[in-house]
């Protein structure tokens, strides 16, 4: 899991750099960075959607996934439960920042395929590339939300570590088609997070996270049948 540890370490380093910058910046500049983070999330989300939508073999799957996933998340009250626990220990702004960090760091092809490549072929290149990207992203996030974004590092360890441990079981089910659908849904969730950061429209993004499970279940069922 050397690649995953390197990825988490880069996030921690980025958070330290970003939090140091935050202390040195006046409120007006911090607000500018906050808006920049929101716009960046919009851009990343739109790019992920537009780049993968033309390659989708099941165009309605992301719609069904978002509908079912949001329904499941709302019934389970994921957003309420997580924020209730987070808000006891941190501000609602930081809770929103951690949600955005999780989506940016964990819901991407490099963060999913990387641990599998690392476990099965001892190839850490995907994770090293992801670590470099996350170093920059975590610096910007921490300069906006503070050092609390460092909590996303253990979240990434659990996420990638779980994929690493179950790589031999997951590898037969992961296909380009599934990654395409996950990228579309992940892009939509990141886009929703960006809109929330900019206070254009508040989305309970955490309630939508189960949408990521629907394509996985769909393609696993197809491969079994």
pLDDT digits (tens, 9 = 90+) for 75-87: 998 888 877 776 6
The rounded distance, in Å, linking the Cα atoms of 144 and 154 is 20
Contact call for residues 105 and 1 (beta carbons, < 8 A) = no
pLDDT digits (tens, 9 = 90+) for 159-194: 999 989 888 787 787 888 888 898 898 889 888 888
Mean pLDDT of the chain, nearest integer? 86
Indicate the domain borders of the chain: 2-224
The rounded distance, in Å, linking the Cα atoms of 206 and 218 is 21
Please state the length of the chain.
225
Within its chain, how far is the Cα of 198 from the centroid?
A: 18
E strand spans, the chain: none
- pTM here is 0.80
Residue corresponding to tokens 């790019």: 47
Paired tokens of 13: 């380093």
């Amino acid at each position: 899991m050397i690649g995953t540890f390197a990825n988490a370490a880069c996030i921690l380093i980025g958070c330290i750099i970003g939090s140091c910058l935050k202390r040195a910046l006046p409120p007006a500049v911090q607000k500018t960075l906050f808006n920049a983070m929101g716009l960046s999330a919009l851009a990343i989300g739109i790019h992920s959607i537009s780049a993968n939508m033309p390659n989708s073999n099941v165009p309605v799957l992301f719609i069904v996934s978002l509908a079912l996933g949001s329904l499941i998340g709302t019934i389970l009250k994921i957003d309420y439960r997580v924020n209730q626990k987070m808000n006891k220990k941190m501000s609602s702004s930081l809770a929103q920042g951690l949600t955005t960090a999780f989506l940016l760091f964990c819901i991407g092809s490099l963060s999913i395929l990387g641990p599998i490549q690392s476990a099965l072929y001892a190839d850490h290149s995907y994770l090293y590339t992801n670590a470099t990207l996350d170093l920059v992203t975590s610096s910007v996030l921490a300069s906006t939300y503070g050092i609390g974004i460092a909590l996303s590092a253990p979240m990434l360890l659990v996420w990638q570590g779980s994929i690493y441990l179950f790589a031999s079981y997951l590898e037969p089910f992961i296909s380009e088609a599934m990654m395409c659908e996950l990228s579309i849904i992940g892009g939509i969730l990141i886009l929703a997070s960006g809109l929330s950061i900019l206070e254009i429209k508040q989305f309970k993004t955490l309630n939508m996270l189960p949408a990521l499970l629907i394509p996985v279940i769909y393609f696993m069922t197809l491969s079994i049948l």
